[in-house]
Amino acid sequence: MKKLYSALMTAFNDDGSIDEAGIREMVRYNIDVNKVDGLYVGGSTGENFNMNHDQKKRVFEIAIDEAKDQVDLIAQVGSLDLNESKELAKFVTDLGYPKISAVTPFYYNYTFEEIKHYYNEILKGVDNKLLIYSIPALTGVSLSMEQFGELFENPKIIGIKYTNADFYLLERVRNTFPDKLILSGFDEMLLPALALGVDGAIGSTYNLNAKRAKAEMIAFDEGNIEKARQLQKESNDLITALIKNDIYPSLKLVFNEMGVHAGVTKEPMAKPTPEMRAGAEKIYNDYLK
């Protein structure tokens, strides 16, 4: 059975400090209600790149303390500061995270040799397994099949969190590296990703929509493609509504509607407006109630 991971959100207070109780509530909801297979901690959905070093470490501590050994955990440790990435990789490994992940280094148009060095350095001296976090729409970094192959020469690099709309490349990578773990990162394209043989999915909307996504995976595995298509359509209606309402604040607002205290987004992300709150209430009533 393919695995479903929620990309864990980080609850913040209005002043930008971490809301520990809110993070714990979201972990518990994902485990107890959503029945996810795992959590991806410290990724884009967790607002990792809006956090300082100490906040990142505290989120990693809270998530693993609350989840314990109940689900698989992946810690995203990538940073433009390689020393920080290396320190976080050691930190989460010592905490007991069984897998780490790292976004491709971005902004400065790094060469592939620099990217390869970055991943190998993160893993040097760390007894852990790593998933490359490939998200070209945000990083501007598109790795080729040959470049993935070079990175896979490091035996500690076990796969990819593939958040990329290039499904031709996905098919080529999947069939060239059948033993590597590939987790789809675009919630709105779960069904075509399943058709191309991914091992599961990681996504932000699974915090709210895991039951529907898991039902879609089951329908696909059973060969009921029409049911899977209908469930993907329903999920995409939800995703479209979230995007129109400003997705990151809205994910938290809808969680609040569901009785889970998700806090607010951290500036410079937008704080909720009355219009956003009304939109989130409608999203909950229309798609999740």
Which tens digit of pLDDT belongs to each residue from 117-140? 999 999 998 999 999 999 999 999
Q: Please state the rounded mean pLDDT for residues 11-19.
A: 97
Q: Is 176 one of the annotated binding-site residues?
A: no
3-state secondary structure (DSSP) of residue 203: strand
Q: Is 187 one of the annotated binding-site residues?
A: yes
Specify the pLDDT at position 216: 98
Q: Is 184 one of the annotated binding-site residues?
A: no
Q: Are 89 and 100 in contact (CB under 8 A)?
A: yes
Domains and CATH numbers, the chain: 3-223 (3.20.20.70)
Specify the pLDDT at position 221: 97
- 161 tagged catalytic: yes
3-state secondary structure (DSSP) of residue 133: strand
Average pLDDT, the chain: 98
Q: Judge whether residue 96 has pLDDT over 90.
A: yes
Q: Among 40, 118, 133, 162, which one carries the catalytic annotation? A: 133
- 284 tagged catalytic: no
Q: Is 204 one of the annotated binding-site residues?
A: yes
Please, what's the b/e burial string for 181-200 (b: 16 or more CB within 10 A of its CB; e: otherwise)?
A: bbbbbbbbbbbebbebebeb
Q: Among 56, 86, 99, 161, which one carries the catalytic annotation? A: 161
The band of 287, judged by pLDDT with boundaries at 50, 70 and 90, is: very high
Provide the CB-side half-sphere exposure for 284 (13 A, CA).
18
Share of the chain above pLDDT 70, in %: 100
Q: Judge whether residue 1 has pLDDT over 90.
A: no
Q: Please state the rounded mean pLDDT for residues 209-215.
A: 98
Residue 288, Cβ density class (10 Å: 0-12 exposed, 13-18 middle, ≥19 buried): middle
pTM of the predicted model as reported, rounded to 2 decimal places: 0.98
Which tens digit of pLDDT belongs to each residue from 168-198? 999 999 999 999 999 999 999 999 999 999 9
Q: Is 218 one of the annotated binding-site residues?
A: no
Nearest-angstrom CA–CA distance, 27 and 39 = 8
Q: Is 185 one of the annotated binding-site residues?
A: yes
Which tens digit of pLDDT belongs to each residue from 16-34? 999 999 999 999 999 999 9
Please, what's the b/e burial string for 161-178 (b: 16 or more CB within 10 A of its CB; e: otherwise)?
A: bbbbeebebbebbbeebe
